[in-house]
């Protein structure tokens, strides 16, 4: 199924979990936060949170800024 991650379209398996997505993106060791359809999914729930077709996902991190 197609989902949108950080403005880009991605194809992922049906019933893909947030955890699986993070691993697919090789971010499992990074300090990140995730929003799915504008709702934050806590890190503790990545393994039980299932993604759906056309979900709009934002994954953010901390970078240098003033």
Partner 1 sequence: MNDSFTVAGKTYQSRLLVGTGKYKDMYQTKAAVEASGAEIVTVAIRRTNLGQNPGEANLLDTLPADKYTYLPNTAGCYNADDAVRTCRLARELLDGHNLVKLEVLGDEKTLLPNVAQTYLAAETLIKEDFDVMVYTNDDPIAAKRFEEMGCVAVMPLAAPIGSGLGIQNPYNILTIIENANVPILVDAGVGTASDAALAMELGCDGILMNTAIAGAKDPVLMASAMKKATEAGREAFLAGRIPRKRYASASSPVDGLFF
> What are the residues binding partner 1 (CB under 8 A)?
5-8, 25-27, 30-35, 38, 40, 42-43, 58-66
31: number of Cβ within 10 Å: 9
Closer of 1 and 59 to partner 1 (Cβ): 59
Taking phi over 0 as left and psi of -120 to 50 as alpha, with beta for the rest, 27 belongs to: alpha
CB of 27 vs partner 1, minimal distance in Å: 6
**Which residue is listed with tokens 């979900």?**
55
CB of 26 vs partner 1, minimal distance in Å: 6
């Amino acid at each position: 199924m197609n989902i949108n991650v950080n403005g880009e379209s991605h194809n992922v398996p049906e019933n893909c979990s947030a955890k699986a997505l993070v691993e697919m993106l090789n971010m499992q060791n990074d300090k990140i936060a995730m929003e799915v359809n504008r709702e934050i999914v806590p890190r503790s729930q990545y393994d039980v949170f299932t993604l759906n077709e056309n979900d709009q996902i934002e994954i953010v991190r901390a970078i240098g800024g003033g």
